[in-house]
Amino acid sequence: MENELVDLVMEDTREKMARAIEHVKAEFASVRTGRASSSLIENVLVDYYGTETPLKQLANFSVPEPRLLVVSPFDKGAMAAIEKAIGNADLGLNPSNDGHVIRLTFPTLTEERRKSFVKIVRTKAEEGKVAIRGIRRHARQELETLEKDEGLPKDEIERLEKVLDKMTQDDVAKVDELLVHKEQELLEV
């Protein structure tokens, strides 16, 4: 019985850490580089007939050129609401609408703006690392509870804590790797 509980705690921890890394990836994708990317605006909330709806549910996206993003609404009646939501999202983009699609031209990033994006990305990476460490701490508490309630041997707890530390180190290293890649992408002219 106790091995099943230990396996459950460890598997749950692995899944939570993997989700934390996926969250960091999604956060990084939302930070703009010099290239057009739909990930920047997919989750912008649009007031669609009184309901806050993510833009990705209302339109298709295409990138015909590296610095141009085209938004094709499914419902042409939502064009004005989509344009307004993008304008209000404070992304530094000015939507232009021809009645059929909305075009977003991505301006070149200044050196100062690139450096501010790097700071934002570093903050998001640190938040991801803190989340991973919090998951480890929670798993340790669960293992200590199993030790008290189920009589799990002390040496088994120590072995599992080493496994948890290794998992944490590996996942923090993955976040660092993602950070290095994103920084290079942001600083690339």
> For the chain, what are the domain ranges?
2-30+110-187, 38-105
% of the chain exceeding 90 in pLDDT: 35
Give the mean model confidence (pLDDT) for residues 141-165.
88
Tens digit of each residue's pLDDT (9 = 90 or more) over 103-126: 988 777 788 878 888 888 999 999
DSSP summary character for residue 107: P
Q: What is the CATH number of domain 2-30+110-187?
A: 1.10.132.20
Tens digit of each residue's pLDDT (9 = 90 or more) over 59-87: 999 888 888 889 999 988 888 898 888 88
CA distance 44 to 59: 12
How many C-alpha atoms does 169 have within 13 Å on its Cβ side? 6
Whether 104 contacts 93, CB under 8 Å? yes
- The pTM score is 0.69
> What pairs with residue 59 in β-bridges?
73
Domain 38-105, CATH among 3.30.1360.40, 3.10.129.10, 3.40.50.150, 3.40.50.300 = 3.30.1360.40
